Structure 1
Amino acid sequence: MQLKLGISTCPNDTFIYESLLCGLENSPFEWKVTFADVQTLNEMVLRGELDVAKISAQVYPQIAETYRCLGCGGAIGYGCGPLLLSSASDSFNPNLPTTLPGANTTAALLFKFWYAHQFKNTPKLEYALFNEVYQGLLGQSIPQGVTIHEHRFTWKRDGLHLLQDLGAYWEQETGSPIPLGIAVAKKELGDATIESVELEIRRSLQIARQRQNPVTPFIVKKAQIDDDEVIKSHIAMFVNDFSENVGEAGWRALDNLWRLSHC
């Protein structure tokens, strides 16, 4: 059976899914993969264009009728949330626009969650691809923005200013881990096929976790940053036991987020 899969080029996704894409032994699936930024993947799933995908957790209520949230393959954890950064200031300015990495991203929702608790007015928002947000901050064409993925590890080195760790704020207010991303599969595939997909994702992840060196040429080629130590840090932060089994705490965190997305 051929299935259309969508994942990002970020090291946590390529780490989890590499063995699956290379072909697992006795696999019933042939994978046609699309690599894209998370906002693009969100939009593709909203249009029903992918059979299986890694997407922003916050978009799930919009697709719950047609997609099933999988119990593995996502990104949930502690201390791994998006960062609100500034190119030149140590304090947030609500009068300036804030650039977010896509309207449907969990990062956007976490920013709005924080902003609503700090200010009474509506935030001024702009949107760009996640790597464009970071480049804009570096070039000072973007005064303040929310960064995700590998750039969580390079902002200090690059002279940017941390205004708020949005993940830390979520943990403080909710007491739950940060539900960044989830894997989903089309319900029309049927329960048996979806369970086989989950099994493949778990097998792929288990193979990756058993490697002595987590970084492979495949992961490096897809990454936005050519730095093995940053890639290792990225994988260590975003790939954990929640990636293999969402578990009770993970589902509780997702429920908190999905309720917030309806507000």
Structure 2
Amino acid sequence: MNIAFSPCPNDTFVFHAWVHGLIPGAPNLDVTYADIDITNGLAASGNGPEALKISYAALPWVLSEYALLPCGGALGRGCGPLVLTKNSAADAQEPSVLSGRSVAVPSERSTAYLLFRLWAAQNVPGGVGNIVVMPFHEIMPAVRDGAIDAGLVIHEARFTYPTYGLSMLTDLGNWWESDTGLPIPLGAIVARRSLDLQAIAGWTRASVEYAWAHPEASREYVLSHAQEMSHEVAQAHIGLYVNEFTADLGDDGYAAVAALLGRAAQEGLVPEVDLALLR
């Protein structure tokens, strides 16, 4: 079976067992490792792989062809995207510093971007200025060097931004959780509706459970794809993004997805979604 997911530690940790033939009855996987912005495009192209990891923000464009699986993805608490500036910590506490300013984002079809736009609509007087899309690993250097006024960062940047001399303006995860009481929907696992979705979900969940039962088994595989990330940072990454929602979205998970996409549709950021297609 063809599948595409990112080389990030949470994805390689989750799928290690299935990729290595450790899930009884599961088909062999032919894996494409790609940044989520690329997998979003693959899903929307109409000829993407049979299963893939995409941003929840990309779901409205692909739900007719792909179904959301109830497991394998990334939702959570305390793991939201950050908005960073080069200002001092004291100055960086005021959202008004972004009024009319340039902001770098990793994608315009990402949960991070939707959360940023929803937060800015409530908190930035007059709105932000220019939005610049750039690879996420280039964002912090660009803010540090003054090429951009602020940056929206994800993943391991949560742990490394102080080394660039940057300050956190806001934690969008904290904002979302306090505003909604719900976890943050980040990455979704989807599969073509023409396939046996129950079986794919079962194999995915079994791979998650194997990863938890044998946490050291995936270490070499995870680090080989972790872009020179240290073992400690990789483990922190996994600890944030692989949790109970990875095993089962549950009612809170589905409510979080519906809230995100519903609010984003009201702001004109995504097409309206038939919520019945989420389950």
Residue 164 of structure 1 aligns to a residue whose secondary structure is strand
Q: Does the CA-based 8 Å contact 1:107-1:148 persist in structure 2? A: yes
Secondary structure at the residue paired with 2:70?
A: coil
Deviation per CA, 1:74-120: give whole Å up to 9, x if none. 11111110000113454332222101111101100000010000135
In the alignment, structure 1 segments of 5+ residues that lack a partner are: none
> Which residue identity does 1:131 align to in structure 2?
H
Partner of 1:216: 219
Give the residue type in structure 2 aligned to 1:71: P
Give 2:142's aligned amino acid: G
CA-atom RMSD, angstroms? 1.7
- What does residue 85 of structure 1 align with? 84
Alignment partner of 2:100 out of 90, 95, 102: 95
| Structure 2 match to 1:55 | 54
Task: Give the AA of the match of 1:134.
Answer: M
1:5-29 superposed Cα distances (whole Å, 9 cap, x missing partner)? 1101111111101111112343342
2:72 counterpart residue number: 73
- With normalisation by structure 1, the TM-score equals 0.92
User: How far did residue 222 of structure 1 move?
Assistant: 0.8
2:269 aligns with none
- Name the structure 2 match of 1:116: 121
Which residue does 1:173 correspond to in 2?
A: 179
Partners of 2:141 and 2:220 lie apart in 1 by 25
Q: Partner amino acid for 2:107?
A: G
Does the aligned pair in 1 maintain the 2:17–2:23 contact within 8 Å? Answer: no
Q: Structure 1's 139 and 224: CA in aligned 2 closer, same or farther, altered over 3 A?
A: farther
**Structure 2: distance between partners of 1:120 and 1:187:** 43
Give the Cα separation in 1 of the matches to 2:221 and 2:6. Answer: 13
Of 23, 41, 44, the match for 1:43: 41
Letter in 2 for 1:246: L
- Give the equivalent residue in structure 1 for 2:27: 29
Verify: 1:162 aligned to 2:162, yes or no.
Answer: no
How far apart are the structure 2 equivalents of 1:117 and 1:214?
A: 45
Once the two structures are overlaid, the 10-residue window that deviates more, 156-165 or 211-220, is 211-220
CA distance in 2, matches of 1:28, 1:218: 19
1:167-187 Cα distance to aligned partner (Å, 9 max, x none): 111111111111111110111
Q: Return the alpha-carbon distance in structure 2 between the equivalents of residues 212 and 206 of structure 1.
A: 10
Letter in structure 2 aligned against 1:207: Y
Distance, in Å, in 1 between the alignment partners of 2:187 and 2:26 is 26
Q: Structure 1 residues 212 and 38, CA, compared in 2 at 3 Å: closer, same or farther?
A: closer
- Partner deviation per Cα, 1:117-145 (whole Å, 9 max, x = no partner): 01353432111122122332344433311
Percent of aligned positions that are identical: 33
SS of 1:55 mapped into structure 2:
strand
Aligned residues: 258
Q: CA 1:211 to 1:28, structure 2 compared with 1: closer, same or farther past 3 Å?
A: closer
Measured in 2, the distance between the counterparts of 1:140 and 1:50 equals: 39
Deviations 1:23-43 (A, max 9, x none): 234334222211111111111
Instruction: Write the distance in 1 (CA, Å) between the matches of 2:75 and 2:138.
Output: 24
2:137 equivalent in structure 1:
131
Contact kept in structure 2, 1:177 and 1:250, CA below 8 Å = yes
The superposition leaves residues 17-70 of structure 1 with CA deviations (integer Å, 9 ceiling, x where unpaired) of 111111234334222211111111111111131211111112112211111100
Structure 1 residue matching 2:120: 3-state secondary structure: helix
Alpha-carbon separation, structure 1, partners of 2:49 and 2:139? 26
- Cα separation, 1, equivalents of 2:21 and 2:218: 18
User: Alpha-carbon deviation of 1:212?
Assistant: 4.6
Structure 2 length-normalised TM: 0.87
CA distance in 2 between counterparts of 1:155 and 1:14 reads: 23
